[in-house]
């Protein structure tokens, strides 16, 4: 996971925790964990940006 992404997720976690305990906080933390897990598991797919070959892109049109 990129450092910037991890930093934002950590900050979001601290904001959620500052809300206070309760069902909404638990739900938000659960969603945050799910998003973080999805990013970590799928990071290989987004590690390199997809580049379109301009020539082949124009040929398809």
**What tens digit of pLDDT does each residue of 4-60 get?**
788 888 988 888 888 888 888 888 889 899 988 888 887 755 555 556 566 655 555
Confirm whether 60 is domain-assigned: no
Position 48 scores a pLDDT of: 56
Domain count, the chain: 1
Position 55 scores a pLDDT of: 62
Position 54 scores a pLDDT of: 62
Confirm whether 37 is domain-assigned: yes
Q: How many residues does the chain have?
A: 61
Position 50 scores a pLDDT of: 57
d(CA 52, CA 36): 28
Of 3, 51, 25, 16, residue with least CA distance to 39 = 3
Confirm whether 57 is domain-assigned: no
d(CA 26, CA 46): 29
What's the domain range around 7? 3-49
pTM above 0.75, yes or no: no
Position 56 scores a pLDDT of: 54
Confirm whether 54 is domain-assigned: no
DSSP 12-48: HHHHHHHH-SSHHHHHHHHHHHHHHHHHHHHHHHHSS
């Amino acid at each position: 996971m990129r450092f910037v992404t991890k930093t934002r997720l950590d900050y979001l976690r601290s904001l959620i925790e500052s809300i206070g305990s309760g069902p909404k906080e638990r739900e938000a933390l659960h969603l945050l964990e799910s998003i973080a897990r999805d990013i970590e598991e799928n990071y290989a797919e987004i590690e390199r940006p997809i580049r379109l070959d301009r020539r082949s892109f124009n040929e398809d049109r």
